[in-house]
Amino acid sequence: MPITRKYSFNENFFLKWSAEMTYILGFWFADGYMTSDKSYRVAFFSKDKSHLENIANTLSYTSPVNQFKRNGKLSSVYTLTFRSKNLFKIIESLGGTSRKSLAMKFPKVPNNFLVDFIRGYFDGDGSVHLTKYLRTKDHKKQVDLRSTFTSGSQEFLFKLQDILNKSPRLTYKKLYLSNKGHWRLGYGTKNTLKLLKFLYYPGCNLYLDRKFAVYQKYLLRNT
C-alpha cells in the first residue's frame, strides 16, 4: 500500500540539479540534520522563519514551519522537518550524513551550480557585516565589509576555499579555529565584495534577505 502522509511535498525535487535545488542542498549542509533513528527524518533549522517558509514553498511542502523546542522549551530557532525515507536516501546519495558537523565533505556539485550551493551554505553557516572604526592615519571614520564561512569540518572549508580561490579569484586566507571549536574562513572588504557579487548573480531568486540587505547597504554608502 502507498504511504500516506499528513503533509505532502515534491519528492522528486532533489533528483534533478537546478539553481533552487542546489541552493537548498547547500543550506541543508550548513543548517540541516538527518536521522534514521526510530523514523527517517530530514530537517532544516534557521532563526529566519520566513526563509524556511520560502524553502517549503519551493518544495511544494504543505507542512507549517514550527518553532524548535529545546529541553521542552521553545527556542529562537525554527525547523522544517520532512519524514521521508525516500528523501533521506536521496540526501544521503548527494553526500549528506547523519553526523556531518565535524566530518563533512564537500559534495560533488556540477560546476554551473557551485555558486548556488555556496550561496545556500553561506546563508546557513556564513556571515556578513559592516565594521566601523577610526582610521589610525587620519582618524576618519571607515566602514568595512567583512564576511566569514564557518564549519566544524576543516576539510570542507579547505575545498570551499580552493573553489573560491579559482572563481571569483578570492585571495588565499588561512583558516583559523575559533574558541568554540569551529573552523572559520574570513574575508575583508575587497574579497567580500567579489564574493557577494559572485553569489548574488542577476536572476538568483533564493537568498537570505537580511544578508543581502547588508551588501546593499554597503553599496549604497559607497556609490
Handedness of CA 34, 164, 199, 133 (dihedral sign): positive
> Residue 26: in which H helix or E strand, if any?
helix 19-31
Residue range 143-155, pLDDT digits in tens: 999 999 999 999 9
Q: Mean pLDDT across the stretch 183-212?
A: 97
The answer to whether the beta carbons of residues 127 and 147 sit under 8 Å apart is yes
pLDDT at site 2 = 47
Q: Mean pLDDT across the stretch 18-22?
A: 98
Residue range 176-189, pLDDT digits in tens: 999 888 999 999 99
Q: Which one is predicted more confidently, 95 or 68?
A: 95
Q: Mean pLDDT across the stretch 42-60?
A: 97
Report d(CA 187, CA 80) in Å as an integer: 31
User: What are the structural domains of the chain?
Assistant: 13-101 (3.10.28.10), 121-221 (3.10.28.10)
Residue range 52-88, pLDDT digits in tens: 999 999 999 999 999 988 877 888 999 999 999 999 9
Which residues neighbour 162 within 8 Å (Cβ) at sequence distance 6 or greater?
none
Q: What is the pTM of this model?
A: 0.94
Beta strands in the chain, from DSSP E residues, in sequence order: 32-35, 41-46, 66-70, 73-82, 126-134, 141-151, 176-177, 183-187
180 phi, psi to nearest 5 deg: -95, 5
